[in-house]
Amino acid sequence: LSELKAKTSVLVRGTSHSGTVQYKFKNIYHLKDKLANTIFGDIGDGDIIPMIRKNNPQIIFHLAAIAYVPYSFEHPREVYHVNVLGTLNVLDAAKELEHLERVVVTSSSEIYGTAQSDRIDENHPLNPSSPYAASKVAADRYAYAYWNTYHLPIAIIRPFNFYGPRHIYDVIPKFIRMVLNEQPPTIHGTGEQSRDLTYVSDIVDAFLIMGSHPKA
């Protein structure tokens, strides 16, 4: 958005992960001179609500989350605090905005759990298999409830894995490094399953469409 010269504010969230804030901001440091405002805070804290209202955004892209699944097994309450209460804070702030056009809430493919068919669409049953996935189900359904109850202009996106520059050491970068080191990439399961992998610029395009298209 900032590269498209839109007036953009960003909330940089920190957690108990060592170095998380620095890493998160490092990912967007090259845009610092193009950002209208940078806010540092805990999205799970109610104090974030007046900060959002003060900025009075037209479009909110809500991506803040603890997204590392293994971490959720040891820290389910922290994951709930950030992913569920954080989403509620964003939605509550959005209710009071004067010029709101859209809230794009980032859910996750993890909410589906093990696929019950060859293809997964929006009607696939929700079957979370981790505290992280459960938190994303709760946030997803709260977003739907706020759309249904308060008629907030909300769109929910449930992305699968995406990859690209400045990606953390996760699935795709890990596979690339293993192949470059002549190591076989480890795939869980039978190896016969398939999964959508989306390049980061394509997922950005999807977010922009979700934030602007009248039918999103």
Q: CA nearest 7: which of 65, 56, 53? A: 56
- Which tens digits make up the pLDDT trace of 156-178? 999 988 888 877 667 778 888 88
What letter would DSSP give residue 156?
Answer: E
- If you average pLDDT over residues 191-214, what whole number do you get? 87
| CA–CA separation, 185 and 189 (whole Å) | 13
- Looking at residue 194, its pLDDT comes to 74
User: Is pLDDT of 189 > 50?
Assistant: yes
Query: Between 215 and 83, whose confidence is greater?
Result: 83
- Looking at residue 7, its pLDDT comes to 62
Work out the pLDDT band at 61, boundaries 50, 70, 90. very high
| CA–CA separation, 120 and 118 (whole Å) | 7
- Looking at residue 177, its pLDDT comes to 85
On the 0-12 / 13-18 / 19+ scale of CB atoms within 10 A, 174 is middle
- Looking at residue 119, its pLDDT comes to 82
- Which tens digits make up the pLDDT trace of 3-41? 555 666 666 655 444 334 444 566 666 666 666 677 777
| CA–CA separation, 113 and 128 (whole Å) | 5
- Looking at residue 129, its pLDDT comes to 94
Question: Which tokens sit at 158?
Answer: 């449930």
Q: Is the pTM of this model over 0.85?
A: no
Domains and CATH numbers, the chain: 2-162+198-212 (3.40.50.720)
Rounded to 5 degrees, φ, ψ at 180 are -60, -30
Catalytic-labelled residue, pool 132, 146, 169, 199: 132
Cα 164 to chain centroid distance, Å, stands at 16
- If you average pLDDT over residues 55-77, what whole number do you get? 92
Distances (CA, A) of 79 to 46, 64, 198: 16, 11, 25
- Looking at residue 74, its pLDDT comes to 96
- Which tens digits make up the pLDDT trace of 98-144? 999 999 999 999 999 988 887 888 889 999 999 999 999 999 999 99
132 is catalytic: yes
The per-residue DSSP string of 37-68 comes to EEEEE-TTSTTHHHHHHHH--SEEEE------
